[in-house]
Amino acid sequence: MMSAGTDNEGVLRTVGGALLIAGTTSDAGKSVLVAGLCRWLVRQGVRTAPFKAQNMSNNSVVTGDGGEIGRAQAVQAAACGLEPSVRFNPVLLKPGGDRTSQVVVLGKAVGEVSALSYRERKAALMTTVMSTLDGLRQDFEAVVCEGAGSPTEINLRANDIANMGLARAADLPVLVVGDIDRGGVFAHLFGTLALLDPADQALVAGFVVNKFRGDPALLEPGLRQLRGLTGRPVLGVLPWREELWLDAEDSLSYAADGVIGRPAPPVGEQWLRVAVVRLPRISNATDVEALACEPGVSVRFVTEPSRLADADLVVLPGSKATVADLEWLRATGLADAIRRHDGPVLGVCGGFQMLGRRIEDGVESRAGVVDGLGLLDVDIRFAADKTLERPRGTAFGEPVHGYEIHHGQVVRGGGEGLVVLPDGTPEGALAGRIAGTHWHGLLENDAFRREFLRWAAGHAGRAGFRPAPDTDFAGQRAAQLDLLGDLVADHLDTDAVLALLERGAPSGLPVVPPAGAPDVT
């Protein structure tokens, strides 16, 4: 495979080129491939921006322009050397239950929808999507777009604004990525193309295979046959790299009762064992990834009470449905296990709210007043308007920053705050071995995280645990983005990618039967 050179002049001969990365399934590798392409293009001197028309995820961040977008697009922006912007993810759906989602448009929540009622809003949202994409194409030389789920959800194609609906409207060439680690990748790639109608197929220019382990020569016969069957090349085979685990696109990527990351041996004599409650409607699950980067810290998601028995630190993470997930804690016995836990407990955002004495919710669940776990002397009341902020302060004597995304507000609090704002106002709560905060990203502050781990180890009786003195979380994230850029440079036909950005999908691509879903009405 050939790669473009590193001469920064003339790499792209057009401005505003764009392509769409679609996937055979959710978690096939769309997000990481987009991030890798963004990193590689920027290295070539190409002004690049990411774009995801519609994201469905409870992992989100607050942007510099005061809105909320999917976390994956914030990571892709970092790969481009850009601050997160609402332009990179104009429509965000945040599931609050099995059948409803909050709709966020250009960073602001605009209401709740069901799966059926959302269809009625898509025409108006498509106008927003297209105008946002057009603006990015005017301001950047390349826009790398990420699809959502699979482009062949044939029951949803008529109203699609994120996959082939977007590609058709914007005349975008499409690459389809499949995860070979799941098995059946050739069937996935072929079937994805074959179920598209002819006009959609005309935009699919090639395939990418993700997470391959082994000798690539063993794959070559299949790649040749796939090209013969479809008339489209496989533009790259990206190898499996176990280092790539940070910033999962969706909380479903985290296995229940599974270890996060690749724990390194402890610096001291003991491990610190962290149990993160895997709430059904968990949000911003990535908050605990910074802990998992620390040597000697074993971080595991848990879903039943026995898993807390040998935990040193228990973390209650964020939730898109605080009251409903609190009810789940009680139904599973985890609520009692958390109250009986005699070590440190940290609650983040929704988890912080659950640790309080009382929650008054007339907004999210409309359940009225419910009892919290009573571990912090805090009362919460949900406000109609969502707090979206990027505050700064100090915690455990160290400067910290983070971001807030929540409806719940502290209306009565006792004890000291975990964080102190610049004007001296306390944020969150700290009472003995129990801590809570509304701040996401707090654990990404290296100096604070080290002090927090000392605090947790002290309350857990882990005198032999010592935090590493030099863990650089931001550096580890940047290293992963660099690795993604390297994988694109080394394993993708980047000349072909540049040609797609400049000229779009080639004409005359063959139509693969059945070329769309048969009409069975």
Q: Catalytic residue, from 407, 440, 459, 491: name it.
A: 440
**What residue type is assigned to position 351 of the chain?**
G
Q: What are phi and psi of 252, to 5 degrees?
A: -65, -15
Instruction: Name the residue with tokens 């912007």.
Output: 85
| Long-range Cβ contacts of 426-432 (<8 Å, 24+ apart) | 427/391, 427/393, 428/352, 429/352, 429/355, 429/356, 429/376, 429/377, 429/378, 431/375, 431/376, 431/377, 432/459
Cα of first residue to Cα of last residue in the chain, in angstroms, is 46
What torsion do the CA atoms of 163, 165, 166, 170 make, to the nearest 10 degrees? Answer: 140
Neighbours of 132 (CB within 10 A): 20
Q: Which of 293, 349, 438, 491 is catalytic?
A: 349
Residue 405: which of 117, 11, 139, 71 has the closest Cα? Answer: 71
Q: Which helix (H) or strand (E) holds 358?
A: strand 358-361
d(CA 521, CA 519): 6
Catalytic annotation on 440?
yes
DSSP-derived pairing of the beta strands 91-95 and 142-146: unpaired
* Residue 419, beta-bridge partner list: 427
> What is the DSSP secondary-structure string of 291-305?
HHTSTTEEEEEE-SG
Packing angle of the helix pair 71-79, 30-43 (nearest 10 deg): 20
What's 463's DSSP letter?
T
Q: Are 232 and 205 in contact (CB under 8 A)?
A: yes
Q: What share of the chain is helix, strand, coil (3-state, %, to 5)?
A: 35, 25, 40
User: Using an 8 Å Cβ cutoff, are 88 and 50 in contact?
Assistant: yes
DSSP 242-287: TT--SS-SSGGGSPTT-B-S-PPPPSSSS-EEEEEE--TTEE-GGG
Q: 151: which 2 tokens?
A: 């482009």
Cα 206 versus chain centre, distance: 25
Nearest to 126 by CA among 71, 53, 56: 53
Residues 308, 273: Cα–Cα separation, whole Å: 10
> What is the rounded distance in angstroms from the CA atom of residue 202 to the CA atom of residue 198?
6
* Three state DSSP letters for 90-140: CEEEEECCCCEEEEEECCEEEEEEEHHHHHHHHHHHHHHHHHHHHHHHHHC
Which of the residues are catalytic?
349, 440
